[in-house]
Homo-oligomer: A and B are copies of this chain.
Amino acid sequence: MVNYFSSDFKLGILGGGQLGKMMLYETRKYDIQTLVLDPSEEAPSKISCNYFEQGELMDYNTVLNFGRKANVVTFEIEGVNIEALKQLESEGIKTFPSAATLEKIQNKAVQKKFYLEKSIPTANFEVFEDLQKLKDAVKNNKISLPFVWKSATGGYDGKGVSVIKIIEDLNELSDGECIAERLVPFKNELAVIVARNPSGEMKTYPVVEMEFHPTANQVEYVICPARIDEKVAEKARKLAEKVSEAFGHVGLLAVEMFQTEDDQILINEVAPRPHNSGHYSIEASYTNQFEQHIRAILDLPLGNTESKVGGIMVNLVGAKDHEGEVVYENIEQIMKMDGVTPHIYGKKITRPFRKMGHVTIVDKDISKAREVAEKVKNSIKVISKK
């Protein structure tokens, strides 16, 4: 057993955004020394670590030299240099999730092929080397509309994913390797977070449900527990465990899934890190996802993943037509509501649809929490200073 607490042990974190920031609260609780690498001088994590370095996460030498200062390295964003992680591993510095795991996930085309290999159910797809090859396939009727276009790399926060309904939609896409995926008619979009440590201990969080806006194609609420049949939930958790084991994953793996009309579960995609769909856990779970990630990568015993209370998460995204210094309008209104906790990520500038924070709403009665969540959604506005 390594003596992590109040010792010289150092954890390196690649990426210093809001996920890293929330992870850092937990490292402080355990008094673990932390190093953070991020390209932005204004990274939200900067304030809460022991050592901050500004640098590019995809640059081999930057990541290698940074990682050498740590005893264990993890990341809060998938876009990091894998070759540098491999070199660190060969030098005896533990990186969790491992370079081999990340390599199967970072590129979505590789990820999807991996599911086929491992007989993990996923929507049918085809891979294209570049946009022109996809356009040709559509032209020659080898791919029929509508379908989902996904960029193989670089997707984040809804970027890099698009539903192609008409031919003209193809002109809006960026070039590069991509996937055309069958548009699956689904009842629910679900997610399960799996935690796994190097000793092989594994725990899953309850299934959460993404509730979409009735007209706009946008997730409005992440709801835990999902309001679905217990058998379907059990099937989703088992499948998530299978995915985690297939990847040989260590740390947190957020598994996004579709529940089809006939109650099949299909894997959509995974994220090998704390995830937006697990933010509810800070207020609702016995062990929140960030603490769990730290426990997992340090090979500590995993904590209880059950919920104390029902939880709903609402993203705080920048209002459209607002760009500039941020103001959280009516935040005092939502703070009056019982069980409501705002989390502000610390980005000074708001832009349309930029993730600026989130709000968690908890209640023993999930339907009551859902009512409050709607009031929260209708009250708070993320706008720019006049």
A residues bordering B, Cβ < 8 Å? 1, 3, 5-6, 21, 25, 28-31, 47-50, 286-287, 291, 295, 300-301, 303-304, 308-309, 326-328, 331-332, 335-336, 338-339, 341-348, 356-357, 362, 364
Residues on B with beta carbons closer than 8 Å to the beta carbon of A343: 29
On whether the beta carbons of B6 and A346 are closer than 8 Å, the reply is yes
Which chain B residue has the least Cβ–Cβ distance from A30?
B344
Q: How far is the CB of A310 from chain B (nearest CB, A)?
A: 10
For A332, list chain B residues within 8 Å (CB): 1, 300-301
Whether A335 pairs with B301 at a CB distance below 8 angstroms is yes
Give the nearest-CB partner of A25 in chain B.
Answer: B25
Known: A6-B348, A332-B301, A343-B29. A338 touches B286 (CB 8 A): yes
Q: A308-B362, A331-B5, A335-B300 are in contact. Are A345 and B21 (CB under 8 A)?
A: no
Can you pick out 23 interface pairs between chain A and chain B where the beta carbons lie within 8 Å of each other? Answer: A3-B327, A5-B331, A5-B342, A6-B348, A6-B356, A25-B25, A25-B28, A28-B47, A28-B48, A28-B346, A29-B344, A30-B342, A31-B346, A47-B48, A47-B49, A48-B48, A291-B341, A300-B332, A300-B335, A301-B336, A303-B335, A304-B338, A308-B364
Q: Nearest Cβ in chain B — how far from A111, in angstroms? A: 32
Q: Which residues of B contact A25 (CB under 8 A)?
A: 25, 28
Write the nearest CB–CB distance from A17 to chain B, whole angstroms: 13
A328 and B6 contacting across the interface, CB-CB below 8 Å: yes
Closest-by-CB residue of B relative to A308 is: B308
Minimum CB–CB distance from A34 to chain B (whole Å) comes to: 9
- CB within 8 A of A50: which of B21, B47, B286? B47
A5 touches B328 (CB 8 A): yes
**Bound CA–CA A308/B308 (angstroms):** 6
Q: How far is the CA of A295 from the CA of B334 in the complex (A)?
A: 13
* Structural contact, A339 and B300, CB atoms closer than 8 A: no
